[in-house]
Structure 1
Amino acid sequence: MIIRDLIADDFPDALRLYQVLTRDPVPVTTDPAAFHAVLDHAGTTIVGAQIEDRIVAMITLHILPNMTSGGRAYALVENVICDPEHQGKGIGKAVLQAGLDKAKAKGCYKAMLLTGEARGARGFYESLGFSGHEKHGMILRF
């Protein structure tokens, strides 16, 4: 297994993983330009796990500038996905930990994420040190 930042050529595998993740009423876009826009966005990285020639897990990591906490940045983790046939093998944990390590190396003082109650992933995130007790996540959809 290789943990690495994704590149534009990884679009087909990324699209397959996004389609596993997405439960929204609006389907994931199949436009490669949207994937390129994420890759090109300053402060954003998609970290993935490659087994043989296939990306089997990935996360999106956004590092955001900040005025509080001494001006230290914070990280937002989004779109944590592991191919169902590779779940339970520590791959998703390795990818997320690699993203968190990047955030620490960039001087972030915290990392945040939201997870849906229906996905049953809370224990997975707690095993990496995340806590749902300190703050309450809220969403406003447009």
Structure 2
Amino acid sequence: MPASTDSLVIRSAKSEDFQGLCALYAQLISNDIAADDDFRLETFHQILTQQGVDLLVGELAGTLVATCMLIVVPNLTRGCAPFALVENVVTHADWRGSGIGKALLRVATDKAFSAGCFKVMLLSGSANKDAHRFYENLGFTTSKTGFELRAPGYPARN
């Protein structure tokens, strides 16, 4: 593992973060479905401008080392309190276990609660016990059961 995490900066992604994010996502899903570069860049810019979406990054010395996406969703129940989803959580393999992922998710949950969200939800692969312990250590519970339905043609999660 490289030196210190003292200079970690957690912030919203900017357009110049595209390549660094792509490198992190390659570690998240090594066999991801390919997308045309132009379409991928167009999607990235859509994410950056989508209301309610905050693509957070953890940066050390100019290098992206972690990311997650926070989505705040308006809601007509719970007194109209919104809820939040966290997706695509990844820390660079060289930095796992250093506290960066924990710091990143604390910022994400703080942002969600500051936005009035009554809960933050995320899904984790059912066999990924290390990730489950990580999320539980941050206060997430398995109080509900997650379900997903994949579109035809998309591979099942490994």
Above 0.5 in TM-score? Answer: yes
- SS of the equivalent of 2:64 reads strand
- SS of the equivalent of 2:127 reads helix
TM-superposition CA deviations, 1:4-61 (whole Å, max 9, x none): 1111110010010111111566246642111111111110001111000111001100
Tell me if 1:18 matches 2:25. yes
Partner of 1:94: 103
Partner of 2:43: 34
CA distance in 2, matches of 1:106, 1:130: 18
* Cα-Cα RMSD: 1.4
Tell me if 1:6 matches 2:16. no
CA distance in 1, matches of 2:66, 2:41: 18
Larger Rg: 2
Partner of 1:123: 133
Taking structure 1 as the reference length, the TM-score comes to: 0.94
Match of 2:115 among 98, 101, 106: 106
- SS of the equivalent of 2:148 reads coil
Report how many aligned residue pairs link the two structures. Answer: 141
CA distance in 2, matches of 1:11, 1:25: 16
TM-superposition CA deviations, 1:39-90 (whole Å, max 9, x none): 1111000111100011100110000000110000000000001000000000
CA distance in 2, matches of 1:126, 1:99: 15
Letter in 1 for 2:103: A
CA distance in 2, matches of 1:28, 1:126: 33
C-alpha change, 1:42 and 1:114, in structure 2 (3 Å) is same
Tell me if 1:138 matches 2:147. yes
Task: Provide structure 2 residue ranges, at least 5 long, that are not aligned to the other structure.
Answer: 1-7, 152-158
Q: Return structure 1 stretches of 4+ with deviation > 4 angstroms.
A: none
Conserved? CA contact 2:26–2:32, under 8 Å: no
Task: Provide structure 1 residue ranges, at least 5 long, that are not aligned to the other structure.
Answer: none
Partner of 1:62: 71
Percent identity (aligned): 38
Letter in 1 for 2:67: M
CA distance in 2, matches of 1:29, 1:94: 33
